[in-house]
Amino acid sequence: MPITYRSLVLSATILLGMVAVAGAQDKGPAAEQSVKPGINEKFLDESLDVDRWVKQFEVESREVYHAREDVLKAAGVKPGMRIADVGAGSGFYTRLFSRAVGPKGWVYAVDISPKFLQHIGGSNAELGLHNITCVLGGERSIQLPPDSVDLIFICDTYHHFEYPQSTLASIHSALREDGVLVVIDFERIPGTSRKWTLDHVRAGKEVFQQEIEQAGFALDEAPKLDSLKENYLLKFRKKSAE
């Protein structure tokens, strides 16, 4: 395969991610069973059509894209923060965070898909965004060092955690003391939610909230955004060690 600008960007961003997470290990019990086997297979496929997903993710008819400015405000992003966008996908929130934290802040785009990271790396370079590191996450860990970020953002991705207990343990470790975890996911209400949501999302808000709280987080806020109808936003804070 010929060496292209994009392939060089991918190599550089993956390498940066490996350097950034040196020493980071998968957290959580190795015996944890998958809660939804195969849910991420399509994103790990080497033939993944990224352009197709960009068109699906970055369109005003998608609620979390249309509401992105409201979400940014609700998340409480400030200049100088270090943020991890977990399940970054096409990277549109990564780019928003990059501009919001400014030159003194940093953003980690974490995803299990090398193809998405290649796209993000290329887009960042073209847009002149230089405060972003792409990190290849694992199925049980976000692969960030302990106490490395102020805020972790998970948008429509928590239900893709195949090993939530282990992944949450790595999230808890990566957050600094009193760090913030923002989770956006789909309202899953039998008889109300779309069939796609009922079939695709394994559980509702109450179950996900309980899982997160059991992992060492306390619910800090559940702001109601008028721009979110099918999704909810929850803000948690990392509990201080007792």
Residue at 84 is within a domain? yes
Name the residue range of residue 116's domain: 5-22+34-238
Residue at 28 is within a domain? no
Q: How many domains does the chain have?
A: 1
Residue at 29 is within a domain? no
CA 190 to chain centre: 26
Output the furthest CA–CA distance in the chain (Å, rounded).
54
Per-position pLDDT tens, the chain of length 242: 333 334 334 434 444 444 344 334 444 556 899 999 999 999 999 999 999 999 999 999 999 999 999 999 999 999 999 999 999 999 999 999 999 999 999 999 999 999 999 999 999 888 999 999 999 999 999 999 999 999 999 999 999 999 999 999 999 999 999 999 999 999 999 999 999 999 999 999 999 999 999 999 999 999 999 999 999 999 999 987 65
For residue 93, what is the domain's CATH number? 3.40.50.150
Residue at 111 is within a domain? yes
pLDDT of residue 125: 84
Q: Are 107 and 131 in contact (CB under 8 A)?
A: yes
Residue at 27 is within a domain? no
Q: Are 184 and 231 in contact (CB under 8 A)?
A: yes
Q: Give the span between the Cα atoms of 76 and 41, in whole angstroms.
A: 33
Residue at 63 is within a domain? yes
Q: Which residues contact 39 (CB under 8 A, 6 or more apart)?
A: 159, 160, 162
Residue at 139 is within a domain? yes
Angle ∠(144,145,150) on CA atoms, nearest 5: 80
pLDDT of residue 29: 56
Residue at 232 is within a domain? yes
